[in-house]
Amino acid sequence: MTIQALLTLVVLAAILYLAFVIGAIVLRILLGLIAIGLVIWLVLQLLRRL
C-alpha cells in the first residue's frame, strides 16, 4: 500500500460518507414535506365536508 493509494481510499471514503449524510438529510426533508402535504390535504378534505 503506497501513501497515494491510502489517500485515494480516504478521499473515496469521505466522499461516500458525505453523500450518505447529505442523502439522509434530503430524504428526511422530503419525507417531512410529504407528511406536511398529507396533513394539509386531510385537513382540506375534512373542511370540505363541514
Model pLDDT, residue 22? 98
Number of domains in the chain: 1
pTM: 0.59
Q: What are phi and psi of 38, to 5 degrees?
A: -65, -45
The average pLDDT across 6-35 equals 98
The CA distance from 35 to 27, in Å, is: 12
Range of the domain at 19: 1-50
The average pLDDT across 7-27 equals 98
% of the chain exceeding 70 in pLDDT = 100
Model pLDDT, residue 30? 98
pLDDT tens per residue, range 28-44: 999 999 999 999 999 99
The CA distance from 10 to 16, in Å, is: 10
The average pLDDT across 19-23 equals 98
Strands (E) located in 1-50: none
